[in-house]
Amino acid sequence: MMSSQTKYIFVTGGVSSSLGKGIVAASLAKLLQAQGYKITIQKLDPYINVDPGTLNPYEHGECYVTNDGAETDLDLGHYERFLNVPTSQANNITTGRIYQSVISKERQGMYLGKTVQVIPHITDEIKENIKFLGSKGEFDIIITEIGGTVGDIESLPYVEALRQLRWEMGEDNLIVIHLTLIPYLSAAKELKTKPTQHSVKTLMESGVQADILVCRTEHELNDEIKEKLARFCNVNVDCVIESVDVNTIYDVPNHMYRERLDKVALKKLKLNYNKPDLNSWNNFLKKYKNPKNAIKIALIGKYVELQDSYKSILESFIHAGAVNEVEVNIVPLHSEFINSKNVHEKLESFNGILVAPGFGERGVEGKIEAIKYVRLNGIPFFGICYGMQMAVIEYARNVLDLHDANSTEVNPNTNNPVIDLMEEQKNITDKGGTMRLGSWACDIVKETLCHSVYKTESIDERHRHRYELNNKYLEQLHEKGLIASGKNKDTNLVEVVEIKNHPWFIGVQFHPEYKSTVLSPHPLFVSFVSAAILNKSK
């Protein structure tokens, strides 16, 4: 259903951060995709980091990785999970990347002696990046989310670029959705529109008029409030969209459909409206909301205080739970507080444990104790990236009797570096964007648990790491029952390990959570949840 020209929808935010611009953008994209339109979403992030790869998860939540090896904002995970379409480097733009590019051009003499300024040079670079995806001719509509809140100093160049683009493209080709908050004052028992009025006014002071208001609220908006917002914010009443709090982010597309957000947006863009086909989506929701059983999984890591640190893992469990028609209750456990004395007490009630990705030495010994416990007690185990490396260390120490076995990341002087820095990483000093990143091929060994899960001999999975299983120890581990069931044939690096005589024990060097979507749940998560159900029944 390609239109003659790619159309753009911008999503801005006002009043407060964390209102869910990414979820609204992804939900609208889902509705448009379900009508046959080709859609993608991009995120403009106002911070000066070139990408989130060097940001602490406490600061910014998880760092999401695309097939082409871009380290991006976690919102790109939502985009992929909703649309079931991969994103790329071009879908995430940061102020750091914009300035890096402009400064590089200036050093090369590309501005011919001109004084380099925010306008036009920074804004032109932003516009060029925004239009890059559209220039490919692959998409009917591109939704662009501007991070931060209107009025922030950091986001001003993006809003200015938006103002210029709107002037250049025309109102039929570019519309603006402003997501805002309608707070409820319990003392007055009233919803208040004033913060939204001020937010829209701030946006207008930058030369941008919102076409559609999406209003986050805890209580339903009556007609009087909608009319008041329309009058004071210069929008039609049908363009005031209520976004009331829902039980799960996966309810938002249906709620936006009932509010006719897609219909209003298409009308503004002068595109045809067709009733969206949400059958597959609603089948998933039905299974998710009507589980026949419940299981309890321990998520062991070191960033457990902040749910966003493991966002893709938590969402992958939702997808896998729906397939298995089971409620997956995730209990985060801080590995720093697990030791040999309390490990039984902490883990005995769980149907399965997942040891999460991470970096550094904090909490390592707790992870190793947890893995030893589940290995000896036949509890399903799933180790991702660092979790896989910890499983190898635990096995080397307690089965191979290499008591000082470790990773050189934790102890550079260990006599038994069963996990070591990859050869190509040894001369790298820069931290940003230098890990083994993106999609890599892996060959699966037949007649293994991993092969029964994937049902194929060749897979592609996304990576984000510097350390790997040291192949010098591979034969010893294999002889004692730890099998390398997945390898990259070009590099000979081990990607998957499993234990022969165990109900379900798999460690993977890659990040399967990055590829799980609503309509394509990841087979490893589906199989692990299934094993946990079986463990519970025993």
Give catalytic residues, as residue numbers.
385, 511, 513
In terms of Cα–Cα distance, which of 286, 282, 288, 283 is closest to 322?
288
Q: Are 200 and 210 in contact (CB under 8 A)?
A: yes
Question: One-letter amino acid identity for 119?
Answer: I
Give the H/E segment covering residue 375: helix 364-377
Angle of helix 311-324 versus helix 75-83 axis, rounded to 10 = 20
* Full DSSP string of 188-200: TTEE--HHHHHHH
The one-letter code for the residue type at 304 is: V
At 309, the amino acid letter reads S
Provide the β-strand partners of residue 421.
Answer: 467
Q: Residue 533: exposed, middle, or buried by beta-carbon count in 10 A (0-12, 13-18, 19+)? A: buried
DSSP classification of residue 466: S
DSSP states of 283-313: HHHHHHHS-SEEEEEEEEES-TT-GGGGHHH
Residues 6+ apart with CB under 8 A from 24: 11, 177, 179, 214, 243, 252, 256
Cβ atoms 16, 149 nearer than 8 A: yes
Whole-angstrom Cα distance, residue 93 to residue 47?
Answer: 10
Instruction: Decide if 266 contacts 211 (C-beta within 8 A).
Output: no
Name 16's Cβ contacts closer than 8 Å, sequence gap at least 6: 149, 181
Residue pair 298/333 in contact (Cβ under 8 Å)? The answer is yes
> What is the distance between the alpha carbons of residues 456 and 446, in angstroms, rounded to a whole number?
9
Structure tokens at 207: 């030369």
> Do the beta carbons of residue 33 and residue 170 sit within 8 Å?
no
